[in-house]
Amino acid sequence: MPSATTTGEPTSAPPAGPARCPWCATSTATATPSGGRRVRCSGCGVQLTWPWPDAAELDAAYAGWYRPEGGRFSGPGDAILRITRGSIAHRIDRVAPPGLVIDVGAGDGHLLDALARRGRPVLGLERGGSSRPDLMDAALADLERPDGGAAAIVLWHVIEHLADPRDTVRHAARLLADDGLLLIACPNAESRQARSFGDRWLAWDQPRHLVHLHPEALVRGLREDGFAIETVGHLRAGQSVFCALHGLAGRIPGTADLYDAIRRPDARSAPIDAGTRAWTVAAAGATLPLAALAAVAEAADGRGASIYLEARRRRDAAGTTGPRPATEQR
């Protein structure tokens, strides 16, 4: 993005991120500031974390404290996460054709376990891998298309973490069977919450979240890459109530970051003393009814905090992973 010298002569600033939007390929030279560390693409309206984090910053952001082996959350938090993460298994099993389900960003494998209990063959992809035989450190680009194609590919709050999300979508098209299902959940950067809480909105989650999507851009991109959109909603994608709760509790004086407060001590980004933690949890409990009501209301208005999308690979989709034709680039 442009800067100026002390003499007023224009010069080029050092690059702060990719030269083109990772979603629509528009030059980022025309992007405009949209937040404390974000710019908005002039082509598709998607927001990008800017400056773009380097490898060292991302390594620190995903360090051991972020997902320690002993679990992330205090009390029943990890058990609740296990239940909610596996809860979409019934939906996937019902709407996807028979066959393999690939879960990208599978975490601890909760969805894999829920699908396996239904008799589904599964494969999980996760940063760092695991000792589990069904969980590997790989990306969709590394996989060969299974015989007949995969029945479903799940990107559950993953696509916003990816440096090249459109490349991942195209590899999903390549790997899926005809009529295979692509299921995506991600934050909605144009939600009421995003605008209300501004830079304090939990779902920006910078620097881990790189590309901040909105429903129109997501739907348009998937259609261009060979998918038929079947379902777009908000509440099923999760996180909406907690993000609202996090923002509301954070406006009460004396509270700490709620997300840190509910995590185990070794999983917090910063220490919290017992008194502040207790006050933060109490404040969250008091505002929970309002947060739930706000999440439902914004979802009904079509501006929910999260996007839930189901898309079917069209039978005529090429599933290519090369550059888009010039007529499709913005």
Summarize pLDDT for 170-203 with one digit per residue, the tens.
Answer: 999 999 999 999 999 999 999 999 999 999 999 9
Q: Is residue 161 part of a domain?
A: yes
Q: Is residue 102 part of a domain?
A: yes
Residue-level pLDDT at 317? 62
* Average pLDDT along the chain: 88
Q: Which residue has the higher pLDDT, 235 or 224?
A: 224
| pLDDT level of residue 7 (50, 70, 90 thresholds) | very low
| pLDDT level of residue 68 (50, 70, 90 thresholds) | confident
Q: Is residue 279 part of a domain?
A: no
Q: How far apart, in Å, are the Cα atoms of 4 and each of 12, 38, 40, 258, 295?
A: 8, 20, 21, 41, 43
Question: Domain holding 307: CATH number?
Answer: 3.40.50.150
Helices (H), the chain: 55-61, 77-86, 89-95, 110-116, 165-175, 192-197, 215-224, 240-250, 258-261, 274-300
Summarize pLDDT for 233-281 with one digit per residue, the tens.
Answer: 998 777 899 999 999 999 999 999 999 998 988 888 889 999 999 999 9
Q: Does residue 87 carry a pLDDT above 50?
A: yes
pTM of this structure: 0.87
Q: Is residue 287 part of a domain?
A: no
Q: Is residue 151 part of a domain?
A: yes
End-to-end CA distance of the chain: 18
The residue range of the domain holding 50 is 27-238+303-314
Phi-psi region of 181 (alpha: psi -120 to 50; beta: other; left: phi over 0): beta
The Cβ of residue 239 has, within 10 Å, a number of other Cβ atoms equal to 20
Q: Does residue 83 carry a pLDDT above 80?
A: no
**C-alpha dihedral sign at 64, 236, 168, 214:** negative
| Domains in the chain, number | 1
Burial environment of residue 81 by CB neighbours within 10 A (0 to 12, 13 to 18, 19 or more)? middle
Residue length, the chain?
A: 330
Q: Does residue 328 carry a pLDDT above 60?
A: no
Q: Does residue 318 carry a pLDDT above 90?
A: no
Lowest mean pLDDT segment, chosen from 127-141, 244-258, 263-277, 287-301: 127-141
Q: What is the layout of strands, in order, in the sheet containing 306-313?
A: 135-136, 122-125, 101-104, 150-156, 176-187, 306-313, 227-233
Q: Is residue 131 part of a domain?
A: yes
Q: Is residue 256 part of a domain?
A: no
Q: Is residue 123 part of a domain?
A: yes
